Structure 1
Amino acid sequence: MTWNARAYATAGTGVCLQPDSAWSYRLVVLDRQLRPTRSFAIPGLPNRARVSASGRMIAWTTFVGGDSYSTSGFSTRTGILDTHTGTQTMSLEDFTITRDGKPYRNADVNFWGVTFTTDDNTFYATMATAGRRHLVRGDLTTKTAQTITDNVECPSLSPDGTRIAFKQAIDGDPQRGWRLSTMDLDTLAVTHLAETRNVDDQAAWLDDHTVAYTLRAADGEPAIWTVPADGTGAPTLLLNGAESPAPLD
């Protein structure tokens, strides 16, 4: 039996990152009946996976080793697949970056946690460099990315496209853990959600009002929880023994 290190699905398209051998992993694209339609090897250890709302675009992030420039303790590779054209972008690090309004290039740039808009071209992601973690807006056609604000990790765009859910490092320090939050993309106003436990996950919107995420018990057993996206209410257990929530249609 093959187990999946990370999975996601929507609009009849699924993606799973699974072991290819004892030391390598493979990305597998699935159709609505969970039949494989495409697969290829990916470097590193699986970390994140996403499918756009239309089912066309797939993004993945892995942890990789061997980057001597890394000062954050880890390096990532984030890629994007267009399932319609077959175009593979194996690393976002080749994109032209604008940071704080100025052109920027640094060997230590890492991206992770992609989320797509409905045009299947624009995306949001986390970019880390020089000790700071930025929310970036990217464009696949122009292969560009520009920073929007700081201390945003693993964004997830709401169905109506107005907000992101994300994990925010407490006092800007990931060593202190993360607080599940949402941000209005017009005003950049942040709302801390009622979940106060450490959420180290890329949350998924079940609808415009509810986000789902994975928490692990002390024994490592995962469970999916939900919480209102406006900061009210309280966390609710949705499903024990599960992870990688996705809003299937």
Structure 2
Amino acid sequence: MTPRHRVLVLACALVLLAGVGAAAVLHASARAERRNQARPGGPPITSGPVSLTGSRRLVFRNMAWGPHRDELTAVAPSDPAGPRVASKVTCLRFHAAAGTGVCLQAVHGAVQDTYRAVILDASLHERARYDVPGIPSRARVSPSGRYAAWTAFVGGDSYAGTDFSTRAAIVDTRTGRLTPSLEAYRVIKDGRTYHASDVNLWGVTFAADDRTFYATLATHGTTHLVRGDLRARTLTTLHPNVECPSLSPDGTRVAFKKRVEGLPADAPWRLYVLDLASGRETALAESRSVDDQALWRDDHTLVYALPGDYGADLYTVPADGTGAPRRVSTAAVSPAYVG
């Protein structure tokens, strides 16, 4: 056999081995996906239309392995663990109200991913899109559907420590007017205009008047609940040690995660509810650390995500400190009650 023939034989053998290896990897991947889909508790999922209006439903990002992972998926709110309808619209974070949705998406590039916020109509069709300058973290739509807000990490990737930077934006979905950073608003702290280079803002939640919102402001290692005014473009501090606020439907209380002394540095929070009129805090029955912006199902119950086998599961807990947490849906995150 000549040297040239030896080279050709070796090349053919390498190609054959590469093909066998690729086939083995694909087979193992497919087998793993089938196994994940067959896990006990995995919900049945079918493709179909998902609407943000009409009959009442719970819409969230589906986390179950398979062809519908990351898609916006709808279930009957009376049976959140029941059969799911998947929309083919994928989101990292999502929220909706009054027929308007905001979907934070990753755009996969050859070198690195970029991110965008997409405003959706009631049929999940795109109405507008905006660049997001970092990893999506929180999303909210106002009760009227007029305003949408999102938060992104632009430095660091976790709220647990202090070495991170966020960017919170609000858009008027009717006019398209975007405030790309709430740091453009005037901060009023202890009755005076406040300036600091380390101000961070995140976790917007809207009141029903299309003017007032609440958010977290962090500065000098402390966090504060702030009340925002969309017309005056101001942020006024109200209460310390508040993160990821969520305003109740009746507008009287804010659910939030609070750092509690003595807890682990990577899991420092407990869920609380703040009465805005009295300033009284109520610790909720969830004893685990919750790194989420809880959602009010109604005036009495909160919904939030905790880590699970598929990435995240949804739980509920009474908002008055009684009862106990209850898992209501596996493989789900970023819920919204619509219709």
TM tier, smaller: over 0.9
SS of aligned partner of 1:243: strand
Q: Indicate the residue corresponding to 1:184 in structure 2.
A: 275
Partner of 2:114: 24
TM-score of the superposed pair, with normalisation by structure 2: 0.69
2:141 matches 1:51: yes
Aligned to 2:101: 14
- Specify every segment of 5 or more residues in structure 2 that has no aligned partner in the other structure, as ranges: 1-87
RMSD between aligned residues: 1.7
Does the CA contact (< 8 Å) of 1:204 and 1:247 recur in 2?
A: no
Q: In structure 2, what is the Cα distance between the partners aligned to 1:244 and 1:172? A: 29
Whether 2:222 is the aligned partner of 1:135: answer no
Partner-residue secondary structure (3-state), 1:247: strand
For 1:40 and 1:140, how far apart are their aligned partners in 2?
Answer: 19
Q: Name the amino acid aligned to 2:315.
A: W
* 1:92 maps to which of 159, 172, 182: 182
Change (3 A) 1:3 1:172: farther
Query: Which amino acid is 2:192 matched to?
Result: K
Structure 2 distance, partners of 1:172, 1:45, is 29
> Is 1:123 aligned to 2:213, yes or no?
yes
User: Residues 254 and 275 of structure 2 are in contact (CA less than 8 Å); yes or no, is this contact kept in structure 1?
Assistant: yes
Equivalent position of 2:65 in the other structure: none
The aligned runs of 1:1-249 (5 Å cut-off) are 3-22=90-109, 23-65=113-155, 72-171=162-261, 175=265, 176-217=267-308, 219=309, 221-249=311-339
Higher radius of gyration, 1 or 2: 2
Distance across 1 between alignment mates of 2:311 and 2:167: 27
Task: Tell me by how many angstroms 1:209 deviates.
Answer: 0.4
> With CA pairs under 8 Å and 6+ residues apart, which has the higher RCO, 1 or 2?
2
Compute the displacement of 1:5 (Å). 1.3
In structure 2, distance between residues paired with 1:207 and 1:28: 26
CA offset digits 1:114-151 (Å, max 9, x no partner): 00111111110000001110000011111111100100
Alignment size in residue pairs: 244
**Percent of pairs with identical residues:** 54
Distance 1:156 1:190 in 2: 14
Check whether the contact 1:2–1:19 (CA below 8 A) recurs between aligned residues.
no
Distance 2:179 2:210 in 1: 14
CA contact (8 A) 2:89 2:124 kept: no
Q: TM-score, normalised by structure 1?
A: 0.94
Give every structure 1 segment of 4 or more consecutive aligned residues whose post-TM-superposition deviation is greater than 4 Å: none
Offset of 1:9 from its aligned partner? 1.1
Aligned 8 A contact 1:151 1:172 in 2? no
CA distance in 1 between counterparts of 2:264 and 2:194 reads 24
Per the alignment, in what secondary structure is the counterpart of residue 141 of structure 1?
coil
Distance 1:48 1:172, change over 3 A: farther
What code does the residue aligned with 1:106 have?
Answer: A
**Higher alpha-carbon deviation: 110-119 or 219-228:** 219-228
Q: Distance in 2 between matches of 1:220 and 1:105?
A: 43
Q: Would you tell me which structure has more strand in proportion to its own residues?
A: 1
